[in-house]
Copies of this chain bind each other. A is one copy, B any other.
């Protein structure tokens, strides 16, 4: 592409993006296409000759945009609502142009050193102690997998060298999570060869927090059976409800048994940049590792997940492999990202995070997260005041779990439970199908529960009021 073409289409697409954000509320949040319909509109074979950019851009308008679910829509309240931002998007433009593979320090000194600086800034903003060193991965699933791999290496059973198959000498290794932990932990355990049997789920209390005494008992029981408890994963901000495991109690149990404590704060960790919410991470000064995702709630485009780790030596021992073709004269004096993970090539992700932190500043980031929490509390207050709805879990952050529970003619208790599940699922789909807002769901105490998550930089009180109206309107219609 010539310089002139790049300028011309670059300017056109920058305007296109500005316009996209300006008109995003006119688009349905959830894509309305039928499965397979985009594929059916695209040629089955690749073009033999190159095509003009004008045609490609016009197809983006005509075919791609209708097939998008608009995560950047201010009424996206599903899953964990997330947010890209202007400085982050422009950072990605530069990253794609530099196209650095930051595998070794020398292949991208800027990436290596900016990563160190930006992650230390984030650590300070979150109030974490200096003993935690940060490294960027793509997703929390991958960050947590690396933490658990380091913990596995820490059991000192020559797993890197000898593996775990053909090892009659090796007892069952076990990791502990709460029943509310994210599925990524189970996936990581499966991937690492520890198996689902290597993961034990600990019951939670009535606020969906891990029960420390159940954890202690489970570890004792497993030890008595000859198993090797090696890791606990506690969650600050679970996916279903944003519940917060009691880290200080859990960390004490981990210390007593010399186990690795990993904290999954992928969602809620960002909230700690708000000074009055720092207490969420109480106890993490004694954790071995912690994951937080700036791509979730820190206005940084996907993907950028951060693992803070207190034992970089173990992480390195678990993953470092330097073949001759990657040897460099300076290798003893510098850090190379690929020594700390499965991926050799690494994108220059630190650039966008550094730009986001500088553009917003600590106060700018904190004030936006604080406002999201205020909006969630406001929504929860409406739910609490209404006779037709009920709160299903505490809402310490910007996620509200609730459901419709209108008065209905008496009936059999289990019939009523089924009817309420069906009603809530129907309300959710009805709201989602309006295209004006998007919610998601979970199950709590075996009850279908709606989730409203606020995390988009463009979400204002007006959007929250509107989804509340939609919910009530669809509930009335369905009753």
In this complex, how many residues of chain A approach chain B with their Cβ under 8 Å: the count is 161
Which of chain B's residues have a CB closer than 8 A to the CB of A164? 163-165, 167, 193-195
Cβ distance A359 to chain B, nearest Cβ, rounded Å: 6
Residue pair A163, B69 in contact (C-beta under 8 Å): no
Bound: A1/B72 CA distance, A:
14
Which of chain B's residues have a CB closer than 8 A to the CB of A182? 323
Q: Is A363 in the interface zone, CB < 8 Å from B?
A: yes
6 closest A-B pairs by beta carbon, nearest first, are: A163-B195, A193-B193, A1-B86, A166-B172, A10-B14, A46-B121
Q: A301-B99, A321-B187 are in contact. Are A109 and B361 (CB under 8 A)?
A: no
Residue pair B99, A345 in contact (C-beta under 8 Å): no
Residue pair A10, B6 in contact (C-beta under 8 Å): no
Which of chain B's residues have a CB closer than 8 A to the CB of A105? 35
Which of chain B's residues have a CB closer than 8 A to the CB of A83? 99
Interface string of A134-177 (1 = CB under 8 A from B): 00001111100100010010000011111111111011110000
Which of chain B's residues have a CB closer than 8 A to the CB of A228? 165
Q: Which of A88-96, A284-292, A385-393, A408-416 forms contacts with chain B?
A: A88-96
Q: Which of B3, B97, B100, B360 contacts A50 (CB 8 A)?
A: B360
Residue pair A359, B1 in contact (C-beta under 8 Å): yes
Q: Which of A37-45, A205-213, A371-379, A463-471 forms contacts with chain B?
A: A37-45
Cβ distance A81 to chain B, nearest Cβ, rounded Å: 11
Residue pair A163, B71 in contact (C-beta under 8 Å): no
Cβ distance A420 to chain B, nearest Cβ, rounded Å: 16
Residue pair A11, B13 in contact (C-beta under 8 Å): no
Q: Which of B50, B100, B326 contacts A68 (CB 8 A)?
A: B100
Bound: A343/B186 CA distance, A:
12
Residue pair B98, A72 in contact (C-beta under 8 Å): yes
Q: Which of B197, B325, B443 contacts A442 (CB 8 A)?
A: B325
Which of chain B's residues have a CB closer than 8 A to the CB of A21? 3, 6, 97
In A326-375, the 8 Å CB interface with B consists of 326, 329-330, 333-334, 342-345, 347, 351-352, 355, 357-364
Q: Is A107 in the interface zone, CB < 8 Å from B?
A: yes
Cβ distance A13 to chain B, nearest Cβ, rounded Å: 5
Which of chain B's residues have a CB closer than 8 A to the CB of A96? 84, 88-89, 92-93, 301, 352
Which of chain B's residues have a CB closer than 8 A to the CB of A99? 71-72, 82-84, 301-302
12 contacts between A and B (CB under 8 A): A6-B14, A7-B15, A48-B363, A53-B87, A72-B97, A92-B95, A138-B138, A162-B195, A165-B167, A165-B172, A166-B170, A325-B451
Which of chain B's residues have a CB closer than 8 A to the CB of A192? 191-193
Cβ distance A104 to chain B, nearest Cβ, rounded Å: 9
Residue pair B15, A49 in contact (C-beta under 8 Å): no
Residue pair B64, A351 in contact (C-beta under 8 Å): yes
Q: Which chain B residue has the least Cβ–Cβ distance from A240? A: B325
Residue pair A117, B86 in contact (C-beta under 8 Å): no
Q: Is A243 in the interface zone, CB < 8 Å from B?
A: no
Q: Is A56 in the interface zone, CB < 8 Å from B?
A: yes
Residue pair B79, A107 in contact (C-beta under 8 Å): yes
Q: Is A190 in the interface zone, CB < 8 Å from B?
A: yes
Residue pair A93, B92 in contact (C-beta under 8 Å): yes
